[in-house]
Amino acid sequence: MVGVMINPLWLKTFRTLVDTGHFTKTADKLFMTQPGVSQHITKLEGVCDCALIKRDKKRFDVTEQGRLVYQYACQLDKSEEVLREQLASDDPYIGKCRLSCSGSLALMLYSKLLDLQCQHEQLIIDVKAAPNHQILDEIHQGQSDIGIVTHIPNPALFDVQTIGHEQLCLVYPATIKVDTISDKHLIELGLISHPDAEHYLSLFFAQNSKTCFGELLVSDIAVSGSINQIGQILEPVAKGLGFTVLPKSAIDSFHSPKKINVFEAKTPVIETLHLVVKKGRKLPARFDTVSRKLQGHFNMSTSGS
């Protein structure tokens, strides 16, 4: 009978029957009647569409198909036992933690989280780099457990906690030898785009337009290249192919700092970082371990700056 689910109660009865080897003992152990035991076995055979036992007066033998069903029943019981043990023990250092954040944050945080995993090998760290809107979508859909975003999302859908701050920097090629870069330079260079580039640049213009870039808009600047790998975004900038805006953490890790310049903004552009979880979801204790590690990192960064 394809598509019909096997009743776990019938499986329990069958496994007990095989273990005891006797219908009466099975009935006594399960607080059933002997006809009730027989009925469960008959229904199980009907669902499996094969004989599970071969009856011979007051005794029986288990068929080959019956042995397979018995093994399956034992596996289910073992899986249930493991599940109950896991549910009863919420270990802060065991299990998978799925974190989504920007590429720059992933670059900065991943090694710190791996250090945590080295201390607790059964704590599995799963980090995914994504733009803000994708992070929120995946948390809402249950594809990610926690995320770090740069704006406060809908409070009806997410629980939010401020976790730190991040400075954004405008970066241009070191080959441009000027005291300060102007809107004309930006237009001539073009933007090296990445998933968060327009968002970062709009923030940069909003806080520095009056002092540095006049009324320049993001739409005024052509895209001269695009890359979604955080570790490679500064490569075209270093080759003189454009400018971009990135968090300071991504710039600090670039391998050729002498090939790029960081614009000294009169008004530093700071983004607040928010740790988000799906509304009302109670996370296992291991996420407290990860959250403390993240908070410790940002607190150290703030005190060291």
pLDDT in tens, 223-239: 999 998 888 999 999 99
Question: What per-residue confidence (pLDDT) applies to 2?
Answer: 47
Domain boundaries along the sequence of the chain: 8-88, 95-160+275-304, 167-270
Torsion of CA 90, 96, 99, 100, to 10 degrees: -140
For the 8-88 domain, the top CATH level (class) is: mainly alpha
CATH topology agreement for domains 95-160+275-304 and 167-270: yes
d(CA 18, CA 26): 9
Q: Give the DSSP H/E element, type plus range, for residue 84.
A: helix 64-88
Q: Which residue has the tokens 């080897």?
A: 21
Confidence category of residue 210, pLDDT binned at 50, 70, 90: low
Residue 302 has pLDDT above 60, yes or no: no
pLDDT tens digits, one per residue of 243-273: 999 988 889 889 999 999 998 888 788 989 9
Mean pLDDT of 37-42: 94
CATH number of 167-270: 3.40.190.10
- In percent, the amount of the chain with pLDDT more than 90 equals 57
How is residue 83 written in tokens?
């599940």
Q: Which pTM was predicted?
A: 0.64
DSSP string for residues in 120-141? STTEEEEEEE--HHHHHHHHHT
Position 209 scores a pLDDT of 66
Beta bridge partners of 123: 95
Confidence of residue 4 (pLDDT cuts 50, 70, 90): low
Tokens, residue 148:
């770090």
What are 50-96's pLDDT values in tens digits? 999 998 877 899 999 999 999 999 999 888 877 876 676 788 998 89
95-160+275-304, superfamily in CATH? Periplasmic binding protein-like II (3.40.190.10)
